[in-house]
Structure 1
Amino acid sequence: MIEISDLSKNYGTKQALQHLTLQIKPGEIFGFLGHNGAGKSTTIKNLVSIIEPTSGSITVDGLDLAEHRQEIKQKIAYVPDTPDIFLQLTAMEYWNLLSSAYELAEKDVQARRNKLVALFNMAEHVDETMASFSHGMRQKAVLIGALLSDPDIWILDEPMQGLDPQAAYDLKQLMKAHAQKGKTVIFSTHNLDTAQQLCDELAILKTGKLIYNGSVQDLLAQHAGKSLEEIYLEMAGRQGDSHLVDDIEGDTHE
């Protein structure tokens, strides 16, 4: 169980996250939705200890993150919102670096690494540098590295971004299988179809505030006859400003 209690994060005078409180249970896929700047990545970076909150707390399986940071990190696989990291390394060097960081013996990690490499069609690229990869290939390499240790909690920030359809499908299947084993999957996305397909629970953020927390089914039931896209845009989008599109299109034809 992950418990986020009254979590806030300020960057100077900007409030990126405001009094966020929610629970994320094991055995479920939990999704964060929100426009750019809504607070999704800020929440995730707090969860993985990249940044520290201005106030509030996070506990993981009863352990306070601020007091048990290293122990909790060992339980987490993290995929950042950009895969442009360690570009001077080959893919294999990058995976070996992560294996060392997690103190994984080669004999223990080799079989899982080989399966992930085969799944994401990276076998021919293991000795190429990350700098030479396309965005999608870097994303695959980062995903493989994050999942090597097979930790209980997966925290994935826009994990489908740049993936080809096959890789995106395979990742979704991995996420489902991990949750079915009673483990936890947390991810952020802008893709509402993906959220509807995968999420057991949703948190929708708007300008750093939580505006919905519950299941997709409950959200749809509360707004009968509307699609998830329509509901989301009413809650988080520009309400009443749809004429702006017509104004722009009108300008282009003048």
Structure 2
Amino acid sequence: MCKNVLEIKHYSKIYSDNKKAVDDISLNVKSGEIHAFIGHNGAGKTTTIRAVVGVMDFGKGEIFIDGHSVKAEPVKCKSLTAYIPDNPDLYEYITGIQYLNYICDMFSVSKKDREEQIQKLAELFKITDSLGDLISSYSHGMKQKLALIGAFIHKPKLLVFDEPFVGLDPEAAFHLKNLMKEACQNGSAIFFSTHVLEVAEKICDTVSIIKSGHLIANGTMEEIKGHHSLEDVFMGVVENDEKI
């Protein structure tokens, strides 16, 4: 039986003006699973993701990563996690290779492993020749690729992505999908938001739909979409107040 890598239990986020951004959601992502977290803009996706990775505090509920509490063991949880926000904010005035070595140093990646991984992933995303350049010279797509290499390079237990396909060319998106599958085959779990529902439908094992801070659907991809497309199901629940 696969172990839960991510457990969200009765998580809520209430802002200082008493606005409830997320209201009592619970879900699990197991080892080997790719989980799509979908919803309209402002539904609570990014708020939840930021709580999972420990960059936003929360008062109600618990979040566990590989059995460790995000509240009680934040450093341990961060050591098990890779996170890419929807607009990666990288260090502009270091080179690409300096950034990757910095990530490897933080996560104690050995010299041998980092050399192998950097070579493999940089060639895959076709940025090998740019690793010696300052990140400030990179295009948005190149920065996204560099951030992705930094996420996969230390082989985390949990990868958390907020709109990871934005800014990627079709070839890079293809390689990202394969890397996600490969990571899960090696025991990791992936929790990501996306508006590209066709991609989610093809690669995800499980899916949650959030609307106005409430989880309105959660289960395997087949359970949620049935004989319909994920896009049809999503439009039904967010526009017509259908429930699953």
- TM-score (normalised: structure 1): 0.88
Given that 1:83 and 1:135 are in contact with CA atoms closer than 8 Å, whether structure 2 keeps it comes out as no
Question: What does residue 236 of structure 1 align with?
Answer: 238
Q: Residues of 2 paired with 1:238 and 1:133: CA distance?
A: 43
Cα distance in 2 for partners of 1:129, 1:80 equals: 21
Q: Deviations over 1:122-151 (max 9, x none)?
A: 011101122211111110011111111111
Q: Which consecutive residues of structure 2, in runs of 5 or more, have no partner in the other structure?
A: none
Q: CA deviation digits over 1:143-200, x for unaligned, max 9?
A: 1111111112111111111001011000101111111223211111001101101111
Inter-partner Cα distance in structure 2 for 1:45 and 1:23 = 16
Query: Out of 129, 139, 151, which is 1:134 matched to?
Result: 139
**Paired amino acid for 1:164:** D
- Aligned-pair CA distance for 1:84: 3.1
1:31 alignment partner, SS class:
strand
Over residues 18-72 of structure 1, what are the superposed CA-to-partner deviations in whole Å (9 max), with x where a residue is unaligned?
1111111111111100111111111111111011113110122322221111112
Q: 2:58 aligns with which of 53, 56, 62?
A: 53
Q: Which structure has the larger Rg? A: 1
Q: Which residue of 2 aligns with 1:111?
A: 116
* Aligned position for 1:123: 128
CA apart distance, 1:238? 6.7
Specify the code of the residue in structure 2 equivalent to 1:119: L
Q: How far off its partner does 1:95 sit?
A: 1.1
Greater Cα offset, 99-108 or 84-93? 99-108
Give the drift of 1:103.
2.6
Aligned Cα root-mean-square deviation (Å): 1.5
Paired residue total: 236
- CA deviations over 1:67-93 (Å, ceiling 9, x no partner): 111112111111111123212221112
- Which of 25, 30, 52 lines up with 1:25 in the alignment? 30
Q: Report the Cα distance in structure 2 between the residues aligned to 1:220 and 1:174, rounded to whole angstroms.
A: 25
Task: Specify the alignment match of 2:106 in structure 1.
Answer: 101
Structure 1: runs of 5+ lacking an equivalent: 240-254
Distance in 1 separating the partners of 2:179 and 2:112: 22
2:71 corresponds to which residue?
A: 66
Percent identity (aligned): 38
The amino acid that maps onto 2:41 is N
In structure 2, give the amino acid aligned to 1:112: Q
- Tell me which residue corresponds to 1:250: none
CA distance in 2, matches of 1:206, 1:100: 39
Aligned counterparts of 2:113 and 2:180: Cα–Cα separation in 1: 22
